[in-house]
Structure 1
Amino acid sequence: MNYESQLLSDSAVVIDEDESRKRRRRLLLLGGGAAVLLVTAAAWISMRGDTAATPAPVAPAPVVTVLQPGQSTVARTVTATGSLAARVDMPVGVVGEGGMVTQVLVQPGDWVRAGQVLATVERSVQTEQGRSLAAQVEVQRASAKLAQAQLDRAKALVGRGFISAADIDQRTATRDQAVAQVRVAEAQLAEQRARTGRLDIRAPAAGLVLTRSVEPGQIVQAGGNALFRMAKDGEMEMQAQVAESDLAALRAGNGAMVTPTGSAESFAGRLWQVSPIVDPQTRMGFARIAIPYHSAIRPGGFASATITSGTGNAPLLPESAVQNDEKGSYVYIVNAKDQVERRTVTVGQVSAAGVAVTSGITGAEKIVTSAAAFLTPGQKVKPEALKAS
């Protein structure tokens, strides 16, 4: 009995432990499920509450600076390119008989005065001829002096009856002939001296020597190639090629700014001649712009020019307001709804004051002056007037 009682007692203990273990497992499962439900419910309530309380965020409209430019007085200009040259290009060559060059006295870049000797030609033969003619002059003068003395003595004897009037007339004619021979000899001597003088190659006017194509020992002759080229008074010009449509707007006296290629400096000039013809092939004409001498102005070089042809009224914008793409130049304006609109424009003169717009806007619009490159047509913006600097 005791053994059976002990066995039953042990079995009861085992059964109680199993039941207790199962009960704890059920409680844990129930507790975990309840916690998950509570967390899910709390999250759902939180999300519903946030959605109802906070609206979706809206991006703010960008602030842009705008300007109403109005109308300004701007210069009308014509741009052109062309070559530089001496305004009066003077070729200097041999005007005498020619011969061998003995001296060259100037170099390209030298300034010379009118009549200054540039080079000399050998003249030994001409010098001797001059001496011979000078001697002939002396001979003729002696003959004239003798004829005058004979005439004077004859006149003293006329009253005594020793000399007839016919003899006086003969001696007078002889005297006059001798005087004439003196004049002929003097003229021949002067001619020879002039010929000899022409062997000096001289500057026809004051100016700047541009080129030299002669050396000592070279044989030169009249009618040959020019030995020197000069710019009269050093004055230069630009021979600007201008489109046919622009020639009509140009007049002699218009101001211009000339910029040689490779130079950062511009030079003030004045239009002095407008071509009366147009090339039928290129449809271009020449506008000649006079420029004072400067070392940067080199004949034969290339340059660009901006010619002022008059004045007019046009909106004037800062350069940052004008954009460019493959379609051309344009600006952005802000309409009454504060939306961006693209407006195609035609650009005129660009100066330190700004960019003149010749068509596309009237000047009453609100033009975007900054951040225009980041805008798109139709975009909402917040315009802010440009503050005067």
Structure 2
Amino acid sequence: MVGGSTKESCFGLVVAAVFIVTVTTSFGAAGQEKETPAKPLPTVTVMPVVSKDIQPSISFTGRVEAIDKVTLRARVDGFLEQRRFSEGQDVKAGDLLYVMEKGQYEAALAQAQGAVESEQAALELANIEVGRLNTLIAKNAAPKAQLDVATAKQKESKARLSQLLAALDKAKLDLGYTDIRAPIAGRIGRSQYSIGNFVGPSSDALATIVSQDPIYVTFSVSQREILAVREKLGSAGKLGDNVNAAIVLVQLADGKQYPEPGKVNFVDVTVDQGTDTVPVRATFPNSDRILIDGQLVNVIVESGTTKTMLLVPQSAIQMDQAGPYALVVDKSNKIEVRRIEPGQVQGADLAVTKGLAAGEMVVTEGVQKVRPGQVVEPVVVKSGS
């Protein structure tokens, strides 16, 4: 009996201990649940919709073209003796660029000059003979047949002299062609031939000169884009009669804008049937030689009048199957979806023509962690920060 009583006592102690541990754990867990803080609101970065006066514009892809571009060629056969320029340098109209061997052409010129002088002497003698016979015939001292022969020789001599004078002119031209000069002002490219090479009219171009300042930028405008230009730019942007009112800007490959604006100076009178586009050309100053012939650029055509537009950062614009939209934080800090109609791009911003109002806060960062109707903690960043 004593042993049984002892076992029962031990069992009771174990049960009591388990009960105490269970109760303590339960109370401890309950205490922890009471101390757990509320889940923080998601933080999003917002920026205000701003209203600005901007110039309506439309973009095209364009290419830089030199106003004048000349390939230098040899017009006579001969060896190159001198090259009087450095590749890539600016040259003026009339500058001496290449010198070819002159010996054979100087000799040909001297020979032609001698033939002319000889024939001039022969013609002078023929003139004297005709004059003398005219005098004798007037006195009935010579037959008229002699005068006819002398007159024929005089005409023959005049004809030979004309031929020899033409040959003399050609000899002078050939000698002049041995000095190859710049026909225009511009920058000269790489020389295709070295000194000592034999060149002639059948050879490839010696070098190319490209005018630099001013310079053209050409771009093609489709029929649809023409309508868009007229709608966005108004009457000032009509291609044709009022093109001078439009301002043409160029954006370079690095994204920077060319500092000098251009002016449209030509709109083609026919449409390219292969591409259904109208070629348009603008003139730009290029004193710093930034624009290079053949360069691909982005062309932005602006009207001369400003228009008030709403601008939002491009990072605030999202896209789904229904189209573009932005997330707006309302006065209660709740997320609201706004469908928008985008306009033209203005640097890092986008013009919005419908769907937003000035001063409203649009989400620019944190879009992926919020949903419509959710309360958020907005962090306002000013536009341009």
Q: What TM-score do the two structures reach when normalised by structure 1?
A: 0.64
Q: Does 1:211 align with 2:190?
A: yes
1:297 to 291, 303, 312: 291
Q: Does 1:343 align with 2:338?
A: yes
d(CA) in 1 for partners of 2:219 and 2:356? 33
**Structure 2 SS opposite 1:216:** coil
d(CA) in 1 for partners of 2:93 and 2:112? 30
The aligned runs of 1:253-332 (5 Å cut-off) are 253=243, 254-262=246-254, 264=256, 266-267=258-259, 268-271=261-264, 272=266, 276-277=271-272, 289-293=282-286, 294-308=288-302, 315-317=309-311, 319=313, 323-324=316-317, 327=320, 330-332=325-327
Structure 1 residues 208 and 100, CA gap change in structure 2 (3 angstroms) = same
Q: Which amino acid is the alignment partner of residue 262 of structure 2?
A: G
Q: Does 1:162 align with 2:141?
A: yes
Structure 1 residues 309 and 175, CA gap change in structure 2 (3 angstroms) = same
Corresponding position of 2:58: 77
Equivalent residues, number: 326
Q: Per-residue displacement from partner, 1:103-142 (whole Å, max 9, x unpaired)?
A: 2222333333444432122232222111111100010111
The aligned runs of 1:214-225 (5 Å cut-off) are 214-225=193-204
d(CA) in 1 for partners of 2:59 and 2:123? 75
**Deviation of residue 100 (structure 1)?**
1.3
2:69 to 89, 111, 127: 89
d(CA) in 2 for partners of 1:209 and 1:312? 42
d(CA) in 1 for partners of 2:184 and 2:201? 20
d(CA) in 2 for partners of 1:138 and 1:334? 100
d(CA) in 1 for partners of 2:303 and 2:274? 22
d(CA) in 2 for partners of 1:159 and 1:302? 84
Q: What TM-score do the two structures reach when normalised by structure 2?
A: 0.65
Q: Is the 8 A contact 1:83 1:238 kept in 2?
A: yes
Largest Rg, 1 or 2: 1
d(CA) in 1 for partners of 2:173 and 2:165? 12
The aligned runs of 1:126-275 (5 Å cut-off) are 126-232=105-211, 234-238=213-217, 245-246=224-225, 249=228, 251=239, 253=243, 254-262=246-254, 264=256, 266-267=258-259, 268-271=261-264, 272=266
Q: Does 1:357 align with 2:351?
A: yes
**Deviation of residue 75 (structure 1)?**
0.8
Q: Which structure 2 residue ranges, 5 or more long, are not aligned?
A: 1-37, 230-238
**Deviation of residue 238 (structure 1)?**
4.2
**Structure 2 SS opposite 1:119:** strand
Identity of aligned residues (%): 19
Structure 1 residues 84 and 182, CA gap change in structure 2 (3 angstroms) = same
d(CA) in 1 for partners of 2:356 and 2:362? 16
**Deviation of residue 300 (structure 1)?**
4.6
Corresponding position of 2:97: 118
Instruction: Out of 143-152 and 230-239, give the one that drifted further.
Output: 230-239
Structure 1 residues 286 and 177, CA gap change in structure 2 (3 angstroms) = closer
d(CA) in 2 for partners of 1:216 and 1:114? 22
Give the aligned CA root-mean-square deviation in angstroms.
Answer: 4.6
**Deviation of residue 197 (structure 1)?**
2.2
Structure 1 residues 143 and 313, CA gap change in structure 2 (3 angstroms) = same
Q: Is the 8 A contact 1:84 1:239 kept in 2?
A: yes
Q: Per-residue displacement from partner, 1:225-280 (whole Å, max 9, x unpaired)?
A: 21111224644344557788536546474533223334845142345457944777
Structure 1 residues 211 and 297, CA gap change in structure 2 (3 angstroms) = farther
1:367 to 351, 355, 360: 360
**Structure 2 SS opposite 1:211:** coil
d(CA) in 2 for partners of 1:112 and 1:66? 54
d(CA) in 1 for partners of 2:47 and 2:254? 38
**Deviation of residue 171 (structure 1)?**
2.6
d(CA) in 1 for partners of 2:54 and 2:255? 30
Q: Which amino acid is the alignment partner of residue 173 of structure 1?
A: A
d(CA) in 1 for partners of 2:87 and 2:301? 31
Q: Is the 8 A contact 1:244 1:278 kept in 2?
A: no
Q: Which structure 1 residue ranges, 5 or more long, are not aligned?
A: 1-56
**Structure 1 SS opposite 2:56:** strand
d(CA) in 2 for partners of 1:180 and 1:150? 17
